[in-house]
Structure 1
Amino acid sequence: MDENIQTFWHQFCKKHNLNENTPVEAWAFGANQKYANELASLVDKEIKTATTSAYELYGKDEKLPKVGEWSIILDGNAKPVCVIKDVCVEIIPYNLISQEHAYHEGEGDCSYAYWRTVHDEFFTRKYKERGKIFYSQAPMVCEVFEKVK
């Protein structure tokens, strides 16, 4: 974690009476700088309160998210924007992800149709990059989080 992110976390911990040694990850949404900026802004405005990742694409040493974990959301320049805390984590087959979850992802017009189109493309590409074929029943890690003010 770079110095700016550490300073941001220390200030956050002080404000919220958290131990500065509380585990936290710092990361950005999206596949590029533009999306990282857009999605970080949606989280900061509390429009985006959920996300989905492919269970099968987690590396062997990569841990799955857990309820109660803290994250610093970064923009496309790796600058801290806000802090979130996971409140729900479930593994759900892709084709069973609800309209409500799609809505809470807060992207586009918040419709299931928009979410599905964007995520079909995203996961098809990500699976292909790993030499795999994306399929509709693929297990997905569905997170619901809250921005901590």
Structure 2
Amino acid sequence: MNKVSEEYWNDYWKNQEQPKSVSAWQFGDDPDTLAQLVVDGIKTATCSGRVFYEIENEPLPTTEDYSIILNSENQPVAIIKTVEVTITPMNEVSEEFAIAEGEGDRTYQYWWDEHEKFFKKELNAIGHEFSEDMLLVCERFELIDVRK
């Protein structure tokens, strides 16, 4: 976590007991647009391929997790709290979840097309193949604070 994010986090929690689990990160291919969707209350979900957690030896998210959402310049934009985590094959992700991701025209088809393209590119880069039933880590979150 960079210094600006750490200051934002500490300032938000001053006079309160801080949660133990916090990370700072950017969303996908367009961090500024996606962060703004969170701020606007449109984006309330996200997903990633489980394989990426395994390869990077990262723990899966939990409902104890808080995240500082960063823009493309690694500046903090908002704090979110994970409220639900499921492991779901991509071809079983519900339309409701896809719409909760808040991207594009907010249709299931848009979600599928963009995620298929993204995962094919990312998996190719690490020598893996895309599969329609690849496991996704699907997270729902709540907006806790917007940085002023």
Q: TM tier, shorter chain?
A: over 0.9
How far apart, CA to CA, are the structure 1 residues paired with 2:62 and 2:21?
12
The residue matched to 2:59 in structure 1 has which SS?
coil
- Give 1:100-139 correspondences, 5 Å limit: 100-139=96-135
TM-score between the two structures when normalised by the length of structure 1 = 0.92
- Give the one of 26, 29, 35 matched to 1:28: 26
Identity %: 39
Alpha-carbon contact 2:99-2:106 (below 8 Å) kept: yes
TM-score between the two structures when normalised by the length of structure 2 = 0.92
Question: Post-superposition shift, 1:60?
Answer: 4.7
How far apart, CA to CA, are the structure 2 residues paired with 1:18 and 1:36?
29
How far apart, CA to CA, are the structure 1 residues paired with 2:56 and 2:122?
17
2:61 is aligned to 65
Question: Post-superposition shift, 1:53?
Answer: 0.3
What is the one-letter code of the residue matched to 1:36?
P
Question: Post-superposition shift, 1:30?
Answer: 1.4
How far apart, CA to CA, are the structure 1 residues paired with 2:77 and 2:66?
14
- Give the one of 12, 30, 37 matched to 2:32: 37
The residue matched to 2:105 in structure 1 has which SS?
coil
The residue matched to 2:72 in structure 1 has which SS?
coil
Alpha-carbon contact 2:21-2:64 (below 8 Å) kept: no
Number of residue pairs aligned between Structure 1 and Structure 2: 144
1:7 is aligned to 7
What is the root-mean-square deviation of aligned Cα atoms in Å? 1.3
**Residues 1:95 and 2:91 aligned together:** yes
Give structure 2 stretches of 5+ with no counterpart: none
Give structure 1 stretches of 5+ with no counterpart: none
Question: Post-superposition shift, 1:68?
Answer: 2.2
What is the one-letter code of the residue matched to 2:14?
K
